[in-house]
């Protein structure tokens, strides 16, 4: 019987180098793919949050404007049912409101309508409430909206101030509100500064625009977007911004009910 001897040899340095290089290439490609997919997921999630914030804010403001001037009886009257401020928030007495400027240049809006359990969400005891859930003891509910940066987090938010003169954030990410009003007899829409105090009753519609700031910072520091005026602009904080707008008919406006709207 003959015996065979099998010789064994190890890997050469060149083979080891090639194997390590291929391994590193695979790892690098895998990490690059993961980072790309993660970045795409983050962008998609941020876009979804931006869209949700914009839609929620428009729904809330639109519903309030549609309720402006609502009266619970044919002989009822809601004084100063709508009032606005250009680049400022509404302050002062409801029937003689004035404007206070805001650093973020957001417009402010005041809406008033009859307080009952049909026009508002009633409390657990069946009492009408304002926009932040406070019970309303008056016959008229007054809600005021504006946008500003939170004093605690620095994030922009849509705020509502109820009849108790207390404000709470309602929607996160809302950097600015822009409201243009349609007034009977005017050929085009006007901002709040173009409407005299005694002409607010002639307002029958509004174009609401909200600027939503993204929640995730991007590596690219400069981001471009189109603002509420339709002008191209940019931001240097790396946050994506998107504009949403909606046209609302103020159904209880005297100009609308009398047929004065053009």
Give per-residue pLDDT as tens, 186-229: 999 999 999 999 999 999 999 999 999 998 877 667 888 999 98
Give per-residue pLDDT as tens, 166-195: 899 999 999 999 999 999 989 999 999 999
The answer on pLDDT for 149 being more than 90 is: yes
The answer on pLDDT for 253 being more than 90 is: no
The answer on pLDDT for 11 being more than 70 is: no
Give the per-residue pLDDT at 7: 54
Give the per-residue pLDDT at 213: 95
The answer on pLDDT for 3 being more than 70 is: no
**Across 22-40, average pLDDT:** 80
Give the per-residue pLDDT at 98: 94
The secondary structure element, H or E, covering residue 141 is: strand 140-149
Give the per-residue pLDDT at 249: 94
Give the per-residue pLDDT at 260: 61
Instruction: Report residue 74's pLDDT band, with 50, 70 and 90 as the boundaries.
Output: low
Task: Indicate the range of 15-24, 56-65, 251-260 predicted with least confidence.
Answer: 251-260
- Closest C-alpha among 206, 247, 248, 252 to residue 114: 252
pTM, 2 dp: 0.83
């Amino acid at each position: 019987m003959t015996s065979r001897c099998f010789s064994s040899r190890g890997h050469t340095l060149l083979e080891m180098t090639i194997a390590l290089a291929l391994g590193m290439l695979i790892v690098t490609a895998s990490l690059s793919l993961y980072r790309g997919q993660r970045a795409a997921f983050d962008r998609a999630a941020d876009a979804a949050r931006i869209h949700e914030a914009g839609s929620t804010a428009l729904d809330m403001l639109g519903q309030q404007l549609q309720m402006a001037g609502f009266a619970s009886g044919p002989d009822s009257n809601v004084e100063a049912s709508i009032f606005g401020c250009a680049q400022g928030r509404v302050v002062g007495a409801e029937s003689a409101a004035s404007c206070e400027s805001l650093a973020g240049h957001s417009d402010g809006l005041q809406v008033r309508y009859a307080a009952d359990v049909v026009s508002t969400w009633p409390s657990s005891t069946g009492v009408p409430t304002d926009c932040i859930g406070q019970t309303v003891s008056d016959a008229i509910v007054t809600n005021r909206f504006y946008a500003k940066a939170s004093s605690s987090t620095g994030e922009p938010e849509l705020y509502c101030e109820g009849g108790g003169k207390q404000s709470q954030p309602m929607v996160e990410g809302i950097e600015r509100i822009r409201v243009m009003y349609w007034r009977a007899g005017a050929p085009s829409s006007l901002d709040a500064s173009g409407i005299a105090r005694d002409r607010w009753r002639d307002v029958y519609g509004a174009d609401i625009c909200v600027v939503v700031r993204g929640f995730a910072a991007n590596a690219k520091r400069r981001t471009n977007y189109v603002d509420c005026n339709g002008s191209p602009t940019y931001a240097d904080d790396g946050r994506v911004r998107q504009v949403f707008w909606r046209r609302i008919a103020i159904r209880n406006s005297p100009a609308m009910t009398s047929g004065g709207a053009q």
